[in-house]
Amino acid sequence: MLLRVGRHSSCRQGPHLGTGRRKIGFYQQQPHIQSEIASLATNSTASDVIVLDFDGVLVDSEPEITASALVAARERWPQAFSHLNLDREAAVKEKMRIVRPVLVRGFESMVMLRMLVEDLNNANKILENWSQVLPAQLDMYGETQADLSALYERVRNSWMTEKPESWMQLHKEYPGVTDALRECPYPLYFASSKAGHRVSALMRAVMDLEVPKSSPSLYASLIPPEEAKADALRSIMTQPVCKGVGASLHFVDDRLETLLAIQKDPGLASKWKLYLASWGYCTSQEVTTAARTSGITILNLNGFKELLRFGLVMSVHDVCEPVQLEVEQ
C-alpha cells in the first residue's frame, strides 16, 4: 500500500519504513499504487514529493571522479604527469576538492588536473571563470571535448566493470542519508547528471537501496544541468501525485546555478520549493549568495534528513500547532 503521512494536531509525522534493502521508486512501478496515487490526487489529499540530486547530495563521488581523471590524464599526457610524486599528487587532489563545485562534465576533471599539476594556484583561475577557462585550455592543449570525454568514460567504465569493488569504495554516502531515505514516506525522484547505470549501481553498493536504471523515478544524464533538470521537474510535475490540492514539491541540489535557473522559470518557481545542499559541492560564496536569494533555502545535513522524514525543516517551517498543555502554560 501507499504509505501516507498524517497531519496531526501538533506536527506532521511519517511512518518508519524499517531497515533492509528498499526498492526506491516502487510508487511509480506498481500499477495498484499508481491507481492509489491518482486517487489521492483526485481526492485532493496533500502530499509531499521530493526530488534529489545524487552527487553532492546523497553521495560524495569526488574521490572517484579525481581518481578516474588521474588515470585518464596520465594516459593522455604521460609527459605532463611523469614527475608527479606522492606529495605533489596529494596536494593536487586537495585542490581538486576545492574546484569540484564548478565541474559539470566528468572529462573536465582531466583538464583541471593538468592545470593544477602545472600550478596549484590555478585553482583560483578555475573557480573564478571555469566556463571560459575550459575552452581556452582545450585549445592550448590541442584537445577536443569529444576526445577527452571518450577517454574518460572508457577509463571509468573499465574500472567499474573490471574492478567494481575498488571503484565503488571511492564513493561515500553522507552520514545518515541512507536511513533517512528508508524512512521517507513520500514519493522520491532522483535527478542526476550522472549516467543512470552508475546511479543505480552506486545506490545498490553504497546505500543498499534498489533504484533500477530504468525506474521512472530516476532521471539521469541530465546535461547541461540547468536546462535538463528543469525539464525533469516539468515532467515530474505531470505525475498525478503532484497535482493534488496542497501538494508540496521539493527539489534539493548542491549546484546553485541549477537552482537559480529553475527560479527564473515562473512555471517552476511557483511550484517547487528549492533547497541548496550546503554539505555538497558548493562554495562558501555560493552559500552566501543563496542566503540572500529569496526562494532558496539552505539546508545542512540535519535539515535535509528532517525534510526526507517529515516533509519540512524544523528550523525553517513552523507548522506545529500548540498542544493544550502549551496553551495553558
Q: DSSP for 279-312?
A: TSS--HHHHHHHHTSTTEEEE-HHHHHHHHHHSS
Nearest CA to 257 among 53, 59, 22? Answer: 53
CA atoms within 13 A on the CB side of 214: 1
Q: Are 170 and 63 in contact (CB under 8 A)?
A: yes
What is the pLDDT at residue 265?
A: 95
Q: How many other β-carbons are positioned within 10 Å of the β-carbon of residue 165?
A: 7
Strand partners, 298: 276
Q: How many domains does the chain have?
A: 2
151 and 138 together in one domain: yes
- C-alpha 197, offset from chain centre: 15
Domain that holds residue 242: 6-59+172-324
In this structure, what CATH number is given to the domain that contains residue 236? 3.40.50.1000
Question: Which residue, chain included where needed, has cell 552520514?
Answer: 175
Asked, for residue 329, whether it belongs to a domain, the answer is: no
- At position 101, the amino acid (one-letter code) is P
194 and 310 together in one domain: yes
Q: pTM score, two decimals?
A: 0.83
Asked, for residue 191, whether it belongs to a domain, the answer is: yes
End-to-end CA, the chain: 41
* Residue 260 CB contacts under 8 Å (≥ 6 apart), including other chains: 293, 296
Q: Are 284 and 260 in contact (CB under 8 A)?
A: no
pLDDT by 10s per residue, the chain, length 329: 232 332 222 333 332 333 445 555 444 444 444 444 444 433 435 589 999 999 999 999 999 999 999 999 999 999 999 999 999 999 999 999 999 999 999 999 999 999 999 999 999 999 999 999 999 999 999 999 999 999 999 999 999 999 999 999 999 999 999 999 999 999 999 999 999 999 999 999 999 999 999 999 999 999 999 999 999 999 999 999 898 878 899 999 999 999 999 999 999 999 999 999 999 999 999 999 999 999 999 999 999 999 999 998 876 654 444 444 343 44
134 and 36 together in one domain: no
CA atoms within 13 A on the CB side of 97: 10
Asked, for residue 1, whether it belongs to a domain, the answer is: no
Under DSSP, is residue 108 helix (H, G, I), strand (E, B) or coil? helix
